[in-house]
């Protein structure tokens, strides 16, 4: 069921990208306007989330690992200067945990991320950017277990985030996007009140999609 939900989400993301692109190409083919202070950029991406797992204590002894996920993501950027923007990234994913004991179950991760960006060549057709900021990660809908005993996890964490990417203008309003982020997130796990250690997920996130300028 989780795989089916992820597949539906990615399909909806792809359909949205196609609709946005076809509409904008029909409206305008000017690619020279760039971005400026006051513009709002909205991007829709398909992202691959690749956890870079580190563990401590019992979690290390059990060789706990976290699987990859492919999901849709949306972000909103407000340009406060011609070259400087503030971006809010929204998306959620579900991950399965495995160990030497077998499958430990799954947990949903919601990591809204706020980034301050610098955009190079803001008037050009090809516009690289870099960003840095913070993420708040909320862990929910978890069904983690060891045998018939439930594993409890800390519900939230804060961590830094780094970003780099590039926008390529396709029309006056629409651009293609490639984006790479590194996000630091972690949770503490326990079983019957006894600590199992800390799970650092710290994913590398690679995304491709399209955006619109308003």
Domain CATH for 63: 2.40.160.20
Mean per-residue pLDDT over the chain, rounded: 88
Per-residue confidence (pLDDT) for residue 32, from 0 to 100: 61
Question: What average pLDDT does the segment 159-175 reach?
Answer: 96
The percentage of the chain sitting over the pLDDT mark of 70, rounded to a whole number, equals 85
Per-residue confidence (pLDDT) for residue 31, from 0 to 100: 61
Number of domains in the chain: 1
What is the C-alpha separation between 72 and 90, in angstroms, rounded? 9
Task: With beta carbons less than 8 A apart as the criterion, state whether 42 and 20 touch.
Answer: no
DSSP 86-145: EEEEE--EEEEEEETTEEEEEEEEE--EEEEEEESSTTSSEEEEEEEEEEEEEEES---E
What is the C-alpha separation between 214 and 38, in angstroms, rounded? 9
pLDDT digits (tens, 9 = 90+) for 30-86: 566 799 999 999 999 999 999 999 999 999 999 999 999 999 999 999 999 999 999
Per-residue confidence (pLDDT) for residue 29, from 0 to 100: 54
What is the C-alpha separation between 80 and 39, in angstroms, rounded? 8
Question: What average pLDDT does the segment 182-204 reach?
Answer: 95
Question: What average pLDDT does the segment 174-197 reach?
Answer: 95
Per-residue confidence (pLDDT) for residue 5, from 0 to 100: 44
Q: Which domain holds residue 31?
A: 2-213
Whether the pLDDT of residue 11 is over 70: the answer is no
Distances (CA, A) of 4 to 49, 70, 71, 104: 17, 12, 11, 20
Q: Which of 38-42, 89-93, 191-195 has the lowest mean pLDDT?
A: 191-195
Task: With beta carbons less than 8 A apart as the criterion, state whether 194 and 170 touch.
Answer: no
Which tokens go with 37?
A: 């202070």
């Amino acid at each position: 069921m989780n795989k089916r939900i992820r597949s539906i989400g990615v399909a909806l993301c792809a359909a949205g990208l196609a609709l946005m692109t076809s509409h904008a190409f029909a409206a305008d083919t000017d690619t020279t306007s760039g971005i400026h202070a006051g513009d709002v950029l909205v991007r829709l991406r398909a992202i691959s989330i690749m956890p870079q797992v580190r563990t401590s204590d019992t979690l290390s002894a059990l060789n706990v690992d976290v699987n990859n996920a492919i999901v849709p993501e949306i972000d909103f950027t407000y340009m406060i200067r011609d070259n400087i923007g503030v971006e809010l990234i929204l998306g959620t994913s579900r991950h399965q945990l495995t160990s030497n004991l077998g499958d430990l179950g799954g947990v949903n991760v919601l990591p809204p991320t706020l980034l301050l960006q610098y955009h190079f060549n803001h008037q050009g057709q090809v516009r690289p950017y870099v960003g840095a900021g913070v993420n708040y990660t909320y862990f929910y809908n978890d069904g983690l277990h060891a045998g018939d005993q439930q594993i409890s996890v800390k519900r939230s964490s804060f961590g830094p985030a780094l970003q780099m990417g590039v926008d390529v203008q396709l029309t006056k309003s629409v651009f293609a996007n490639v984006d790479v982020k590194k996000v630091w997130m972690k949770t503490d796990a326990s079983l019957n009140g006894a600590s199992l250690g800390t799970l650092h997920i710290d994913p590398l996130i690679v995304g491709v999609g399209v955006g619109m300028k308003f």
